[in-house]
Amino acid sequence: MARISPNTRIIFLDMDGVMNHMGYMKGLDPIDPECIKRLNEIVEYTDAKIVISSTWRKYTPFNTLAGRMTKMGFIGEILDYTPCIDREYGYSAPRGCEIQLWIKRNIADGDCAYRRYIILDDDSDMLLEQRENFILTDFSGGGLTINMAHRAKRALMGLENIPDQFIGDCP
pTM of this structure: 0.89
pLDDT tops 80 at residue 165: no
The percent of residues in the chain predicted with pLDDT above 70, rounded, is 85
pLDDT tops 90 at residue 45: yes
Question: How far apart (Å, rounded) are the C-alpha atoms in residues 89 and 159?
Answer: 38
Alpha helix ranges (H) inside 26-164? 33-46, 62-71, 85-89, 95-106, 146-156
For residue 1, the model assigns a pLDDT of 59
pLDDT tops 50 at residue 171: no
For residue 160, the model assigns a pLDDT of 61
pLDDT tops 70 at residue 112: no
For residue 89, the model assigns a pLDDT of 87
Average pLDDT, the chain: 87
pLDDT tops 60 at residue 154: yes
Q: What is the mean pLDDT of residues 63-86?
A: 94
Which domains, ranges and CATH numbers included, belong to the chain?
Answer: 10-166 (3.40.50)
For residue 18, the model assigns a pLDDT of 94
Question: How far apart (Å, rounded) are the C-alpha atoms in residues 11 and 62?
Answer: 16
